[in-house]
Structure 1
Amino acid sequence: MATTSRGRSQDRARVAGGQDHEVKYEAKREGVPKSEVKETVKEVGNSRKKVEAKLDKK
C-alpha cells in the first residue's frame, strides 16, 4: 500500500510515545530527556504541536 502525502503529514503531526525512535528524536530536538517526552505525551496527548508547546514552557 502506497503512503499518500496526506498520510505522511498526519503521521508527522503525532508523537508515538511508544515508539522509541520517535521519543528519542523529539527529545534530541527539544533538548530534554526521553522520559520527559514520554510524560508529556501522557499529559497532553500525541499531538506534536501540543507536546512541543508543553516542552517549550518548561
Structure 2
Amino acid sequence: LFLKGRETEAEIEAARLRWEFDSRLHPSLTAKDANLVEVTNLRERTEESST
C-alpha cells in the first residue's frame, strides 16, 4: 500500500513507464484528496513487455 495525495493518477502513470503492475485506489478516510494505492503483480518492465 502507498499513501498518495492529489497527484495519484500522474504518479501511477509515471511508475508504469518502468514497472508493470495492477493497482486499486482506495479513498482516504482522513483526507478528501488522498488515496491509498494497492499494488499487486509488480514486475519490472522489460523490452519484451514494452512492445
Larger Rg: 2
What TM-score results when the alignment is normalised by the length of structure 2? 0.30
Bigger share in strand = 2
Bigger share in helix = 1
Task: Say which structure, 1 or 2, has more relative contact order (CA 8 Å, 6+ apart).
Answer: 2
What TM-score results when the alignment is normalised by the length of structure 1? 0.28
